[in-house]
Amino acid sequence: MQSKSAKISIAIVSLILGIMLAVQFKTTASNNATQIPARVEDVAQQLNSATQERDALAEEVVSLQAKLSNVRKNDEAMADLEEELQKTRMAAGTTAAEGPGIILTVNDIPRKIQPGEDPNDTIVHDSDLNTLVNDLKSSGAEAISVNDQRIIAMSEIRCASTLMLINTRRVGPPFVIKATGNPDMLESGMNINGGWLSIMKQWGYQISMQKSEKVQIPAYNGPIRFEYSVPAEKGEKAE
């Protein structure tokens, strides 16, 4: 009798124990699967920081929306400014340019130097290039480069022994001068009688000039520093 009741109670207890174990196994498994941080404090802290972040972001949304509507209002002004900026960059030469124009190639006089002759008489000088570039400018060139060095307002062309320094970069012959503008105007302006190009041709320099529908002029890629100059009339143009 005692044995029977003992068996029954042990059976029931084992059954309950099995159920408890199974539930615990399942709970532990799902716990491990989701990797939820065990500490309540951790979760609370995460919630706190997430809430703070959300609030900050909401504020940012408000301010950005205000800015956006501002920008929309000033859209026309912005477009004008953008256009102005683009124009100014083109004028300054800090952006690449392309368009119809001419490509002018100048090289040294090919003949052998006679004994007693000055070799300086046969090479292209900085003064030649300066004069040619100046002639191009006066013929209506809009953007000029020499051997892929963009000529900007402060660009120098000067001799450095056998080479030439343009934008402090060394370049050598042949010199390829590219200019955008009205090709016919440029060509006739360069070929004008008594112009420097015709004089160089008479001396025997190798010169070729061709009109092109698409001349690519690179941007000036050197530093632009103003150490001593400041804008004299501030704010006048921005209005």
Partner 1 sequence: MWLLIIFCLLIGLAIGFQMPVLLPLIYAKYLSIAILAALDSVFGGIRGYMEDGFDTTIFVSGFIVNALLAAGLAYIGDKLGVELYLAAVIVFGVRIFQNLAIIRRYLVKKY
Task: Give 178's strand partners.
Answer: 103, 145
Q: Would you say 178 and 215 are in contact if contact means Cβ atoms under 8 Å apart?
A: yes
Q: How far is the CB of 50 from partner 1 (least distance, A)?
A: 20
> Which of 17/79 has CB closer to partner 1?
17
Cβ proximity to partner 1: between 42 and 98 the closer is 42
# binding residues, partner 1 (CB under 8 A): 28
* Cis peptide bond upstream of 174, omega within 30: yes
Q: Does residue 9 bind partner 1 (CB under 8 A)?
A: yes
- Tell me the window of 9-17, 100-108, 195-203, 231-239 that interacts with partner 1 (CB under 8 A): 9-17
**Helix or strand (DSSP H, E) at 212:** strand 206-217
Q: How far apart are the first and last CA of the chain?
A: 109
**CB closer to partner 1, 32 vs 202:** 32
**C-beta of 47: minimal distance to partner 1 in Å?**
16
Task: Compare residues 5 and 202 and give the one whose CB is closer to partner 1.
Answer: 5
Provide the minimum distance between the beta carbon of 2 and partner 1 in the complex, in angstroms, as a whole number: 7
Per CB under 8 A, contacts with partner 1 among 10-49 are 10-28, 30-31, 36, 38
From residue 135, alpha-carbon distances to 90, 95, 124, 138, 206 in Å are 20, 23, 16, 5, 18
Using the rule CB under 8 A, is 68 a contact of partner 1? no
Please state the closest distance from residue 11 (CB atom) to partner 1, in A. 5
SS3 assignment, position 211: strand
Here the tokens at position 140 are 């209506």
Of the two residues 32 and 120, which places its CB atom closer to partner 1 in the complex?
32
Concatenated DSSP letters for 26-63? HHHHHHHHHT--S-HHHHHHHHHHHHHHHHHHHHHHHH
CB of 41 to partner 1, least distance (A): 12
Compute the least distance from the CB of residue 40 to partner 1, in Å: 8
Q: Which is nearer to partner 1, 22 or 185 (CB)?
A: 22
CB neighbours of 100 closer than 8 A, spacing ≥ 6? Answer: 180, 181, 182, 183, 211, 212, 213, 214, 215
Applying CB under 8 A, the residues found at the interface with partner 1 are 2, 5-7, 9-28, 30-31, 36, 38
